[in-house]
Each structure stands twice: as structure tokens, then as C-alpha cells.
Amino acid sequence: MVIYSREKVARLREQYPAGTRICLDSMDGEAGMPQGLEGTVQYVDDAGQLGVKWDNGRSLSLIPGVDSFHKKEGQGHPEEKPRKKRESDLQR
């Protein structure tokens, strides 16, 4: 079992807020969880595990440092919206 400090859990929550899309690289011992499977982070629990709703319909947690996964490209905070460039920004 992996135990993370409060600080590490806080960093994981910042890095993987609810709504973050991730892609599975590998997970040992779980049938039906192929490499490349995508999912959406629902939460990070107090133990530092990422609760994920997978695109195959399963809900299964990831353990950072044990399971291998990565954040999908272009992922910012899910509530952030791209800011339109104003003309004044282009003159800088």
C-alpha cells in the first residue's frame, strides 16, 4: 500500500482536479483495462488515489506510482476557458 503525505495529496488534487481527462498506460491485475483507455477524474481521495470514471463504463481508482497513466494533451483546469486575445494584447 502506498501512503502519501498531506502535501503530496494536495499536489495531486491540484494536478488532477475533477474533470481532468487521463489516458491509461498500464494497470496490473485488472482485466478489461487496456492501454490507451481514457477516463475522467472524479476525485482524489485522502490516500492520494484518483477515482476515475472510465470510458468503458467502469469506475476504478488509479494509484500514482503504481499504475501508469498520463494527462491528456491540452488539459487545463476544467473550469478554465481559453481567453480571447484582445487587440491590445496583440500589440505587446
Q: What are the pLDDT digits (tens) for 1-25?
A: 678 899 999 999 999 999 999 999 9
Q: Read off the pLDDT band of 84 (50, 70, 90).
A: very low
Q: What is the pLDDT of residues 57-80, one digit of tens each?
A: 999 999 999 999 999 987 554 444
Q: How far apart are CA 92 and CA 90, in angstroms?
A: 6
The CA distance from 19 to 44, in Å, is 11
Q: For 6-74, which CATH superfamily applies?
A: SH3 Domains (2.30.30.40)
Strands (E), the chain: 21-26, 38-44, 50-54, 59-62, 68-71
CA distances from 88 to 40, 81, 82, 85 (A): 37, 19, 17, 8
The domain spans of the chain are 6-74
